């Protein structure tokens, strides 16, 4: 046998279940008086959790997916770009590719149409051996017209039970998708917001997130009882597109400065294990860096590109399509104002990212 054994022994490797929850945001970050304690805040043991900058608001889910799975950043694309639909036409490097190489089974699932964001063609290019969509779900438990998070999490558990080796499963939910319109199917979900009357969309959204939290409790409770190592990674893709007036009222002012605007791009995340692991609270990171936290918790050696990302993150702890947090200047900056070491790092990152997407000759060390 000439094949060197992989650095990670998959027999003892934890299965990794990642859930990107549609429009799951912590609106309390705009104003604690909103008065919702989301489930992720109650997790303390064996949990790394915090807020991460997303590059999209109100929509554009696939770009949050792309940042998480590849470690690339939307900062280096034009506003309005959909990387999935415009640029992924052949196999590309991602977490799924790397974990598949370590002996993981790789599955991506989304309880909606396979054509959405071209996922049915893009996911296999990203290294997912199996992809499942709406027709693979029983569709027995819907909220509004969408498969509920509860049904999806039950489906994920079923997939977990069927696995032959450690599983890397990436799931994108649908339950909380926009179109927060009160009608006969959604009325019962409304949670009255007494301090902020006149915003039925926000009342419906609050009810939807409560349902997500119930489903999350169920999922965590299930895996607490499982006898093998599991990591659950959960994050929101973007803030919900609720009425601008509601956000302004909640926040008490307009979102005019970059610092203010970034508040609408901070999404919650957590990485939880059903075994002893170090807990940490991360005040702010960004979705392009999240995979590093996952590998660390899993005890998996960082791929070369992630080692590079770790260096970038030391200089630039959080970044998205709008700007980055500058440690040198102690504030958010637009990319045009980057200078010194931060500018050097960003330029290096941009070049490597370009190489991973557009160059015929990809850097073999990284991709």
Strand order in the sheet with 105-109: 130-132, 105-109, 167-172, 15-21, 230-236, 266-273, 47-53, 280-286
Whether the pLDDT of residue 102 is over 70: the answer is yes
Q: Are the C-beta atoms of 21 and 236 separated by less than 8 Å?
A: yes
- Whole-angstrom Cα distance, residue 61 to residue 237? 6
CA 291 to chain centre: 10
d(CA 324, CA 337): 10
Q: Can you give the pLDDT at residue 35?
A: 74
Which residues 6+ apart lie within 8 Å of 88 measured at CB?
118, 121, 122, 125, 126
> Among the listed ranges 8-17, 195-204, 339-348, which one has the minimum average pLDDT value?
8-17
- How does residue 10 score in pLDDT terms, banded at 50, 70 and 90? low
Report the pLDDT averaged over residues 103-108: 98
Flag whether pLDDT at 174 surpasses 50: yes
As a whole number of Å, the end-to-end CA separation of the chain is 25
- DSSP3 helix / strand / coil % (the chain, rounded to 5): 40, 15, 40
* Cα 250–Cα 254–Cα 257 angle in degrees, nearest 5: 125
The residue that leads in pLDDT, 32 or 124, is 124
| Residue of 52, 22, 72, 29 lying closest to 270 (CA atoms) | 52
Residue 11's Cβ-side half-sphere holds a number of Cα atoms within 13 Å equal to 1
CA–CA separation, 152 vs 316, rounded Å?
A: 35
Cα separation, 232 vs 20, in Å, equals 11
- How many Cβ atoms are within 10 Å of 296's Cβ, its own excluded? 17
| DSSP reduced 3-state for 57 | coil
Longest dimension (CA), the chain: 69
- At 281, list the tokens: 């609270």
In angstroms, the CA 88 to CA 274 distance is 35
The DSSP element (H or E) to which 258 belongs, if any, is: helix 258-262
- What is the DSSP-derived secondary structure letter of residue 14? P
Rounded to 5 degrees, φ, ψ at 95 are -55, -40
DSSP strands (E only) in 260-334: 266-273, 280-286, 324-326, 331-333
Q: What are phi and psi of 4, to 5 degrees?
A: -65, 140
Average pLDDT in the chain: 95
Q: Cα 97–98–104 angle (5° rounding)?
A: 85
Q: Is 364 exposed, middle or buried (0-12, 13-18, 19+ CB in 10 A)?
A: exposed
Alpha carbon of 4 to those of 137, 307, 367: distances in Å?
39, 21, 19
pLDDT at position 11: 64
What is residue 365's DSSP assignment? T
What is the per-residue pLDDT for 32? 87
Summarize pLDDT for 234-285 with one digit per residue, the tens: 999 999 999 999 999 999 999 999 999 999 999 999 999 999 999 999 999 9
303-348 pLDDT, tens digit per residue, is: 999 999 999 999 999 999 999 999 999 999 999 999 999 999 999 9
Report the share of the chain in percent with pLDDT over 90: 93
Task: Tell me which residue of 45, 42, 8, 41 sits closest to 25, measured CA to CA.
Answer: 41
pLDDT confidence tier of residue 1, bands split at 50, 70 and 90:
very low
- Asked if the model's pLDDT at residue 5 lies above 90, the reply is no
Predicted confidence (pLDDT) at residue 39 exceeds the cutoff of 70: yes
Task: Determine the average pLDDT of the residues in 70-95.
Answer: 96
Rounded Cα–Cα distance for residues 239 and 230 (Å): 28
Question: Residue 9's pLDDT is what?
Answer: 55
């Amino acid at each position: 046998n000439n094949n060197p054994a992989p650095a990670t022994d998959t027999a003892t490797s934890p299965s990794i279940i990642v859930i990107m929850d549609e429009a799951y945001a912590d609106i309390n970050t705009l104003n604690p008086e909103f008065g919702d304690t989301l489930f992720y805040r109650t997790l303390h043991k064996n949990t790394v959790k915090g807020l991460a900058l997303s590059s999209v608001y109100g929509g554009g889910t696939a770009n949050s997916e792309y940042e998480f799975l590849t470690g690339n950043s939307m900062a280096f694309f034009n506003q309005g770009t959909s990387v999935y639909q415009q640029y992924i036409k052949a196999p590309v490097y991602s977490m799924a590719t790397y974990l598949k190489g370590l002996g993981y089974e790789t599955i991506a699932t989304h309880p909606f149409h396979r054509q959405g964001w071209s996922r049915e063609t893009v996911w296999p290019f990203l290294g997912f051996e199996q992809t499942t969509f709406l027709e693979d779900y029983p569709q027995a438990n819907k909220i509004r017209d969408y498969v509920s998070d509860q049904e999806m999490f039950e489906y994920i558990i079923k997939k977990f039970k069927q696995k032959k080796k450690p599983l890397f499963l990436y799931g994108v939910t649908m339950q909380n998708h926009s179109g927060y319109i009160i009608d006969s199917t959604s009325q019962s979900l409304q949670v009255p917001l007494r301090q902020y009357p006149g915003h039925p969309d926000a009342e419906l959204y609050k009810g939807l997130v409560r349902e997500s939290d119930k489903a999350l409790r169920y999922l965590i409770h299930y895996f607490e009882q499982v006898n093998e190592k599991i990591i659950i990674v959960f994050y929101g893709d973007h803030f919900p597109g609720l009425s601008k007036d509601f956000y302004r009222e909640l926040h008490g002012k307009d979102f005019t400065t970059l610092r203010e605007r970034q508040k609408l791009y901070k999404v919650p995340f957590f990485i939880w294990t059903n075994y002893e692991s170090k807990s940490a609270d991360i005040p702010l990171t960004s979705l392009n860096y999240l995979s590093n936290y996952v590998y660390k918790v899993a005890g998996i050696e960082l791929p070369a590109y992630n080692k590079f990302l770790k260096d970038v993150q030391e200089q630039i702890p959080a970044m998205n399509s709008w700007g980055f947090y500058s440690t040198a200047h102690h504030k958010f900056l637009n990319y045009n104002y980057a200078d010194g070491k931060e500018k050097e790092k960003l330029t290096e990152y941009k070049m490597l990212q370009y190489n991973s997407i557009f160059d015929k000759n990809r850097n073999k060390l990284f991709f």
